[in-house]
Structure 1
């Protein structure tokens, strides 16, 4: 189902503006692959005769494998926001691994991918250019999903119980607005603080603190985009912040502007 602007996922900044420029659709993986992969996604745009559009994203704590003409690769979690220029007509096919789900393929600390990328060849020993051309030339989204499912199922590693443990914990952090500190996440788990930090470095690629911060800021940006924020302090409290200034510092450090400046951009 095509997403309308209000249904674009958290992390797509200025979603109301972006929803006018591109479409985003997501597809569930098969059961076996779903142990490692959260979903597939396809972005399509047609800006022929229009000015290019730069879409900014605040990344989730996930590794993404992306097929884009001339720019395919495997991308770790970005330190802050990242922007992608859309021009002409095109599409991108992506694979969003679960938090922790890429490690069994990579077999190295996922923190080594933080803020950077690696080639598909390095991980899967395949000719990226040939696979990129094959997938992107397929006639529709489902055909791309089916082709990559076939590719991946031939290369599935053994299931690692830490993947399920980590992905479930990250989902709980995302859902619970009261999780603002690492100690709050520890209370949700059966891990010690040190164990959690070690597993997040190895499997997720960023710290528990970073995961918590990102999800709270996703919610804040979504509320601003929807135009429903009338009181900054009230929103801060609703998101679990006890100190409004702490919220502003977090927002500025990751998004790059203050919440007020972000709202002004949205209204332009």
Structure 2
């Protein structure tokens, strides 16, 4: 299996968390739960076999994904194809990073996966053909960077206040007071929520919950002996019942079941 992670330089590093290229992955299962991670993703499939999103309950095919697609911010887990023998390039945008490329209010894509050409135009499909023709991952990354730089629009983020506040939530989720953040933004509560949803895709409260959920995953992933009360308290929960409810809302699993079922990647849980 080939698995390469690419960290872009400035200015793209202001917007993009990472780019990943993988080929030849052969898991023993056919479906994964993808847990919300507080990012938005452009997925370019370099093979012609369609991938699927499944109903979370009955696991029936719900949506076919082909060629390239854009996944907005999600508040629930997705059940997706495991991508056996797939070849893909994935651009993971920071929460505050995709608007200059999409140039559409991001709440329109919340909890949705849409064909990439509907977001970026037909150019994304031409880029896909170029990426398919290149053999070296490094060349593919460079070509993707060139395309992203050409696709980026100049955007004034209301005085840069939204990116700063998103970063604050991401870096100290257990210490953040959203009411104080809204007051310090200089906007009314209503304006602040509107701008946050426009540039991030979710309300500040929803985004904060997802960041806190991922803080929990970071603490427990790969661990076998866990002090659950300590984890809950350190992530800002005052009681374990609230902690478990939030965890189940995002993952469809209770925390102990997640530990039992966890796979090779923190936000992907194999369905076996």
TM-score of the aligned structures, taking structure 2 as reference length: 0.77
**Superposition deviation, residue 229 in structure 1:** 4.6
| Residue 202 of structure 1, aligned match among 198, 202, 212 | 198
Is the 8 Å Cα contact of residues 7 and 18 (structure 2) preserved in structure 1? yes
Query: What SS does the corresponding residue of 1:154 show, helix, strand or coil?
Result: helix
RMSD: 2.8
Structure 2 residue 3 is matched with structure 1 residue 31: no
Aligned length: 245
Superposed structure 1 runs of 4+ greater than 4 Å apart: 187-192
> Which residue in the other structure is 1:61 paired with?
38
What is the match of residue 133 of structure 1? 129
1:185–1:263 distance in 2 versus 1, CA, 3 Å: farther
Whether the aligned pair in 2 keeps the contact of 1:62 and 1:96 (CA below 8 Å) is: yes
Q: Does 1:46 align with 2:46?
A: no
Is 2:214 the partner of 1:214? no
Q: Does 1:262 align with 2:263?
A: no
SS at match of 1:223: helix
Please give the per-residue CA displacement for 1:120-169, whole angstroms capped at 9, x wherever unaligned: 32333325444223213422222111111222222321142349432332
Question: What's the TM-score, normalizing by structure 1?
Answer: 0.78
Q: Distance in 1 between matches of 2:6 and 2:232?
A: 33
Give the distance between the partners of 2:16 and 2:25, measured in 1 at CA.
Answer: 28
1:109-258 maps to which residues of 2 (within 5 A)? 109-162=105-158, 164-179=160-175, 182-183=178-179, 185-186=181-182, 189=185, 191-227=187-223, 229-258=225-254
* Deviation of the 1:66 alpha carbon: 1.1
- The answer on whether the counterparts of 2:174 and 2:236 sit within 8 Å (CA) in structure 1 is yes
Contact 1:114 1:205 (C-alpha < 8 Å) held by counterparts: yes
Distance in 1 between the 2:5 and 2:17 partners?
Answer: 10
Per-residue Cα deviation, 1:26-66 (whole angstroms, up to 9, x for no partner):
3222323334333322234432xx63443332233332111
Give the C-alpha shift of residue 172 in structure 1: 1.7
SS at match of 2:86: strand
* Greater fraction helix: 1
Structure 1 residue ranges without an equivalent (≥5): 1-21
Distance of aligned partners of 1:181 and 1:242 in 2 relative to their CA distance in 1, 3 Å threshold: farther
Structure 2 residue runs without a partner (length 5+): 49-65, 264-271
Output one character per residue of 1:85-107: Cα deviation in whole Å (capped at 9) or x when no partner. Answer: 23542321112223233223333
Indicate the structure whose relative CO is greater, using CA pairs within 8 Å and at least 6 residues apart. 2
Contact 1:186/1:193 (<8 A) preserved? yes
Q: Does the C-alpha gap of structure 1 residues 214 and 256 become closer, same or farther in structure 2, counting only changes over 3 Å?
A: same
Query: In 2, Cα distance between the equivalents of 1:62 and 1:264?
Result: 25
CA 39–236 in structure 1, closer or farther in 2 if over 3 Å, else same? same
